[in-house]
Amino acid sequence: MSTVTEQKQKIKVAIVDDHTLFRSGLKMLLEKQEDIVVTGELGSAENITQFLQQQQTDVILMDISLPGIDGLEATQLIKNEFPDAKVIILTMYNDEPYLFKALKANASGYILKEAASTELVSAIRTVASGETFIHPSLVKVLVEEAVDKKEEKVENTKQDILTEREKEVLYYISLGYTNQEIADNLVVSVKTVEKHKYNIMEKLNLHRRHELVQYAIRQGLVDFSDNEP
């Protein structure tokens, strides 16, 4: 009776990889763990949904490069039919585009095939508990992406707080116009231009002309192929 109970408590793992030796090696590794049992091995993802309908599985180890349906497409198919299924992408690709595609496909984990056996076992346990596991070498990529998006959002917010007149002034500043030339083009006084310039710098927290130019270029507020705003 205790044996049956222990079996139910084990993490049930399926391996999907087209390399027989790799699958065999993974199975040997995983079945040495007291809390993991391999429920099946598949050489492709063609019949993965049928397999999951017949075999209770907690975690699917999915090779990203498979004949026919690739690992990313298979992951999306699995998640569409089994929303609670947990898929860990196994790959040789240490590239952020593949990582982002895997996350977009709703994978629960992403680990490199070169990872240490302890990392793979840790990934399985982490994902089985409902959390996400990303190979440590790629965590930095996610952090940098988040920071870039935050900075972009801040800059877009800054741009939104500029009035249309301030954007016009910033445009001419970026083209190297003097305050007098800007005043002449906008038909306002030099004092008004200086006030707009001061307000722009305050709102954007920028203090030098070259910083304003760089900001305008990043935001697409200036096009040097054109001479009019």
Residue 75 has a pLDDT of 94
Residue 23 has a pLDDT of 92
Residue 204 has a pLDDT of 84
> Which residue segments constitute the domains of the chain, with CATH numbers given?
2-138 (3.40.50.2300), 154-218 (1.10.10.10)
- CA separation (Å) from 65 to 16, 17, 70? 10, 8, 6
Measured CA to CA, the distance from residue 219 to residue 174 in angstroms comes to 12
Residue 150 has a pLDDT of 46
* Encoded amino acid at 209, one letter: R
Q: At what angle do helices 209-218 and 164-174 cross, to 10 degrees?
A: 110
- The rounded Cα 54 to chain-centroid distance in angstroms is 33
Residue 144 has a pLDDT of 54
Helix spans in the chain (H): 2-9, 20-30, 48-54, 71-81, 96-104, 117-128, 136-160, 164-174, 179-186, 190-204, 209-218
Q: Which residues contact 111 (CB under 8 A, 6 or more apart)?
A: 88, 89, 90, 91, 119, 120, 123, 133, 134, 135
Measured CA to CA, the distance from residue 64 to residue 73 in angstroms comes to 9
Question: Is the C-alpha dihedral spanning 171, 176, 180, 181 positive or negative?
Answer: negative
| pLDDT tens, the chain, 229 aa long | 444 445 458 999 999 999 999 999 999 999 899 999 999 999 999 999 999 999 999 999 999 989 889 999 999 999 999 988 999 999 887 766 777 788 888 888 888 888 888 889 999 999 998 888 887 666 555 545 444 554 454 455 445 678 888 888 888 887 778 888 889 989 999 999 999 989 988 888 887 777 787 778 777 776 544 444 4
Give this prediction's pTM. Answer: 0.59
Residue 4 has a pLDDT of 47
Retrieve residue 129's tokens: 């508990």
Residue 61 has a pLDDT of 96
